[in-house]
Amino acid sequence: MKVLIIANGDIGDSRKVKDVLPAADYVICADGGLRHAKELGLVPDLILGDFDSLAHGVLEEYRTAGVPIRKYPQDKDKTDTQIAVDIAIDMGATHVYLLGAFGSRWDHSYANMMMLYRLAKRNIEAWILDAHNIVMVSNGVVRIKGQAGQFISLLPLGEDVHIISTQGLKYPIIDKWLPLDFPYGISNVFVQPYAEIQIGEGWLIIVKASD
């Protein structure tokens, strides 16, 4: 099952988002993410949150249409996005796409990066995406589709990462450690339609950028 979670952060140009947004079997809106769904013409299967970032009356339109709504208190141990991620895990999701996961609150943005790690540890393919970037966290072997000339950055998550090899990139990385305090893997470039990265140790943040 492929689950799309729409959070309240920035998504950029909605027209560009439509071009990269994968098809999903189930759509969850976390609080103010509902405004992005509306802009994109998506009808959620579930709306949840404490609803501190929604204009008055917006929920009623969807409640009237029969969309399930779960309200949570503002004082809680999980963010609305984490609640949505945990629901996706409990549903048996194989893929989770997070839209609107980055924004002006860096603490929330980093917390959502942690959600990618939470999902990847459970062998669930997960992306954070917006109009300009697709971000994932991985270990092992990963194959990523791109376009010649497109930027791709490889950055360690929480600890140094050992790269066994890469293929399809302008600047090959062979048997090297990417240290946490030196962004050696920033702004590599696709030279083939696919890149393959073999990770020997650690968890890697992979950022595919469109500009």
β strands within the chain, DSSP E? 2-6, 26-30, 46-49, 69-71, 95-99, 125-129, 133-138, 141-145, 151-156, 161-167, 176-178, 188-189, 194-201, 204-209
- The CA distance from 206 to 211, in Å, is 15
pLDDT of residue 30: 94
Q: What are φ and ψ of residue 173, in 5° steps?
A: -120, 115
- Whether 33 shows a pLDDT value over 80: the answer reads yes
Structural domains for the chain: 2-131 (3.40.50.10240), 139-209 (2.60.120.320)
21 or 194: whose pLDDT is higher?
Answer: 194
For residue range 48-83, what is the model confidence (pLDDT) as tens digits? 998 877 776 778 888 888 999 999 888 888 999 999
For residue range 77-103, what is the model confidence (pLDDT) as tens digits? 899 999 999 999 999 999 999 999 998
For residue range 103-146, what is the model confidence (pLDDT) as tens digits? 889 999 999 999 999 999 999 999 999 999 999 999 999 999 99
pTM of the model: 0.92
- Split at pLDDT 50, 70, 90, the class of 1 is very high
